[in-house]
Amino acid sequence: MARGLNRGTQHKLTRVRPPRVRMTTDVETRDSEEAKELLCNIAVTANLTGKINEEDPIKDYRDRRFEEIDKENFGAIFARCKPRVQMQVPDRISRGPDGKPVAGQSLGVTIDFKTYEDFEPARVAEKVPALQKLLEARKALEAAKTYIGVNGGLERTMRKSMSLLDEMIAARTVSPNAAISGPGSSSSEASATPDDSNQTPPAPEQSDR
């Protein structure tokens, strides 16, 4: 009776809260059974480097050795693996004359990962030159927002500048050759085109009288 009760309790623990990885075997010791836990060893062989850098090649498979990985040495082993990505992705950044992305245009991307934090979106953007410029502009706007919040005059100037910029963009979208009138130009000067100055004025109408 005690033997069956003991065995049921051991197997019940594995059902109530089973661990992620746990292997046990029932070993008979004289008149009772005892559950012995087996060690779980996993060997991983894979191409974790990705696109190999020709200037810094890695060892061949036959020259490599298994290494134990834990939370203490994970960063060092990760850096030695030298993960690298090299690919062509659709270019969503460049714009054509109409302000829209150019269809069919691709962007070459090469990223070297040295730490696990390099997979974060901001760190990935820092490694792509086209995205790095946009990230720097975003940081500059965030910094300017801080100064604008404490300076009312600067806020009014920025709003006026942004409004003028929106008008210029709207005018260029409607007609790329349209002239933009500034604060010191008149309406007649703004509506004139470069070819108007070379045109001869019309001759006055002649009367029969």
Q: What is the DSSP letter of 194?
A: G
Q: Can you say whether residue 99 is alpha, beta or left, with left for phi > 0 and alpha for psi between -120 and 50 degrees?
A: left
The helix/strand/coil state of 152 is helix
Q: Exposed e or buried b for every residue in 137-172, given b needs 16+ CB within 10 A?
A: eeeeeeeeeeebeeeeeeeeeeeeeeeeeeeeeeee
Q: Is 189 exposed, middle or buried (0-12, 13-18, 19+ CB in 10 A)?
A: exposed
Output the pLDDT for position 96: 78
CB atoms closer than 10 angstroms to residue 113: 20
How many angstroms separate the CA atoms of 130 and 109, rounded?
A: 10
Output the pLDDT for position 65: 82
The percentage of the chain sitting over the pLDDT mark of 70, rounded to a whole number, equals 65
pLDDT digits (tens, 9 = 90+) for 138-157: 888 777 777 776 776 777 77
How many angstroms separate the CA atoms of 175 and 190, rounded?
A: 14
Output the pLDDT for position 181: 45
The domains of the chain are located at: 2-38, 61-119, 128-175
Contact 22, 14 (CB under 8 A): yes
Report, as ranges of residue numbers, the positions in the chain whose pLDDT lies below 50. 1-6, 174-198, 207, 209
